[in-house]
Structure 1
Amino acid sequence: MSEQPEKLLLVDDDDIFLHVLQRAFKKRNFDVQTASTIGEALSLCEDHIFSRAVVDLKLAEESGLHLIEKLKHKQPDLNIVMLTGYSSISTAVEAIKLGALNYLCKPADADDILHAFEQAQGNADVEINSQPPSVNRLEWEHIQRVLNEHDGNISATARALGMHRRTLQRKLQKRPVRQ
């Protein structure tokens, strides 16, 4: 009698990336379901019990942070890894507080994601960067924190930061600087 494949939910609005991950996890003997929106993901949770989920932070105009909370409410034992190309300290902290097991920056492949699921415990020996973050990185972190405080509302965030909404939108469309 063969072992049942583990059920995995992949949620990302990048169809190509989603398809690549889906194929990679199927090769690793996972039963994979995919969704591009929060609504699709929640609908799949009505029909399937997942053991793992990979959730993108930025789902078009939606926040994957909201999905983490909803998924954990529906399936409390679900292990979630948040995956993002728009990483910030504030979104990482919030993802963990909302119930994500780990937070992973893109680009990431199936092996990176599986490793993130296995790293459930903290690591006190993690390397500490000897250089302070750049001004651009600090700006990105500050914008993300204020955006999070305003529940992703760009207009309210722009007002709080004292900048034009379109300027903020342009800054948010750029990838964050590493340092």
Structure 2
Amino acid sequence: MTDISELAESERTLLLVDDDKPFLTRLERAMDKRGFIVSIADTVAGGLAAVKSNTPAFAVVDLRLEDGNGLAVVQALHEHRPDARAVVLTGYGNIATAVTAVKLGAVDYLAKPADADDIVKALLAGEEEIKPEPPENPMSADRVRWEHIQRVYELCDRNVSETARRLNMHRRTLQRILAKRAPR
């Protein structure tokens, strides 16, 4: 399936859950223009309430939200509607969370900022169809490494010594990496 307009109105419902309000607003407009009937939430609690009140056919959920993990919304969505298709967005991608997202029912896992066309392709790609092409400008290996270090640093409450221990690197090396700007 490649065209949303071929679906019945109840099958075009889309829930967007993200705490980045400008991104959420832009994505809402973009998806509305592409034929989806969009509802939005900016918290896990709001996403769960939207799933319970009117379970959508599609969902795009940010992984890290202010009040918790977006995977809770994906799990609730698939409990209420097993055929629903969800895409998880994140700025802190790693293999473990990607695997968890897929196990909970997500059909794809995209790095932020994701293009609306890429999101639509992921939502509408059937299991029998060929996977979407890789992005034109994927993150560099240096950027992926930097993102991972930043994520672990945040999870360790910005404690350099604890982060260095968990990453198995020297504290001074970590301090030098943290002092630099993010690679492109």
Q: Quick check: TM above 0.5?
A: yes
Corresponding position: 1:113 with 2:113: no
Match of 2:23 among 13, 17, 22: 17
1:7 alignment partner in structure 2: 13
Report the 3-state secondary structure (helix = DSSP H, G, I; strand = E; otherwise coil) of the residue aligned with 2:16.
strand
Which of 72, 95, 104 is 1:89 aligned to? 95
Q: Is the 8 A contact 2:44 2:67 kept in 1?
A: no
Matches of residues 17-166 of structure 1 in structure 2 within 5 Å? 17-121=23-127, 137=144, 141=148, 154=156, 162=165
Q: What are the ranges of 5 or more consecutive residues in structure 2 without an aligned counterpart?
A: 1-6, 135-140, 172-176
Q: How many residues align?
A: 160
- Kindly provide the amino acid, as one letter, of the partner of residue 110 in structure 1: A
Shift of 1:118: 3.0
Q: 2: distance between equivalents of 1:76 and 1:14?
A: 27
- CA distance in 2: counterparts of 1:3 and 1:99, whole angstroms: 22
Deviation at 1:4, TM superposition (A): 2.2
19-28 or 58-67, larger mean C-alpha shift: 58-67
CA drift of 1:49 comes to 2.6
Secondary structure at the aligned position of 2:106 is classed as coil
- Secondary structure of 2:98's partner? helix
User: Per the alignment, do residues 138 and 26 of structure 1 end up closer, same or farther by CA in structure 2, a change over 3 Å counting?
Assistant: closer
- The DSSP-based 3-state class of the residue aligned with 1:102 is strand
**1:38-62: CA deviations, max 9, x gaps?**
1111111222131100000111241
Looking at structure 2, the residues matched to 160 and 113 of structure 1 have their Cα atoms a distance apart, in angstroms, of 33
Question: What TM-score, normalized to structure 1?
Answer: 0.68
Give the superposition deviation at 1:160.
Answer: 9.3
Q: 1:154 to 1:12 in 2, by over 3 A?
A: same
Secondary structure of residue in 2 paired with 1:77: coil
Q: Contact between 2:92 and 2:147, CA under 8 Å: does it hold in 1?
A: no
Residues 98, 160 of structure 1: alpha-carbon distance in 2 compared, 3 angstrom cutoff? farther
The share of aligned pairs that are identical, in percent, is 38
Q: Which runs of 4+ in 1 moved over 6 A?
A: 158-161, 175-178
- Report the counterpart of residue 130 of structure 1 in structure 2: none
TM-aligned CA deviation for residue 99 of structure 1: 1.0
Q: What TM-score comes out, normalization by structure 2 length?
A: 0.67
Tell me if the contact between 1:87 and 1:176 (Cα under 8 Å) persists in the aligned partners: no
| Residue pair 1:57, 1:84 contacting (<8 A) in 2 also | yes
Of residues 79-88 and 61-70 in structure 1, the stretch that sits farther from structure 2 once superposed is: 61-70
Structure 1: state its 5+ residue gaps.
128-132
CA RMSD of superposed structures (Å): 3.9
SS in structure 1 of the partner of residue 113 of structure 2: coil
